[in-house]
Amino acid sequence: MSSKTLNYSCTIEQTPAAELPQTDRDLLAAAHKAALQAYAPYSKFQVGAAARLENGQIVLGANQENMSYPQGMCGERIAVFTAGAQHPGVAIEAVAIVSPSPIANPNAFMPCGGCRQVLLESEQRQSGAIRLLLQARDEAVLISESAANLVPFAFDAQGLGS
Ligand code: THU
């Protein structure tokens, strides 16, 4: 067998918030409001998330930490898991994830690897892409039309679920 290089590329758009459709701006506003409910005394890094479901409902999340550090949970995962628990079978259309934190990179909020994996599986379960809107403190919003876009060479153990 000869060696080869596997390449991966993804497309993320950057748009000023003011140019987004109203539905996106509403979702971002909900995520910024949710960030106020972050409990992040240890990291001081606040994250807010808002998931818009296909029925128009919006489900919020904010990161919650614990003095036993690994027990904390990311904001977007709380939103996605809450949507699954409270609205089973209702697809998620879009998730806005934001950080107003002064220690966040001001022009980009990128979700952690664990949350990307969770968002990816939600997409796979519902057989429909989840639009991601990512914003820190700048006016610019990063947009990915699918979580899969952010998970190169994703974990995929096909026998696990059977
Ligand atoms: N955090 C999130 O809520 N989402 C991410 O995608 C990255 C990290 C939280 C976890 C922890 O409370 C704090 O930010 C610092 O890592």
For residue 144, what pLDDT is reported? 98
- CA-nearest of 30, 25, 86, 77 to 55 is 86
> Is 99 a pocket residue for ligand 1 (Cβ < 6 Å)?
no
Domains of the chain: 23-148 (3.40.140.10)
Q: What is the chain's Cα-based Rg?
A: 16
> Is 63 a pocket residue for ligand 1 (Cβ < 6 Å)?
yes
Residue 22 CA, ligand 1 centroid: distance in Å: 27
How would you write the pLDDT of the chain (162 residues) with one tens digit per residue? Answer: 899 999 999 999 999 999 999 999 999 999 999 999 999 999 999 999 999 999 999 999 999 999 999 999 999 999 999 999 999 999 999 999 999 999 998 888 999 999 999 999 999 999 999 999 999 999 999 999 999 999 999 998 887 876
> Is 24 a pocket residue for ligand 1 (Cβ < 6 Å)?
no
Q: Is 50 exposed, middle or buried (0-12, 13-18, 19+ CB in 10 A)?
A: buried
For residue 57, what pLDDT is reported? 98
For residue 132, what pLDDT is reported? 98
Nearest-atom index, ligand 1, CA of 112: 6
DSSP state letter for 90? P
Task: Report how far Cα 62 is from the mean position of its chain's Cα atoms.
Answer: 11
pTM: 0.96
Judge whether 76 counts as a catalytic residue: yes
Residue from 32, 44, 45 to probe ligand 1 pocket by mutation (most atoms less than 8 Å from CB): 45
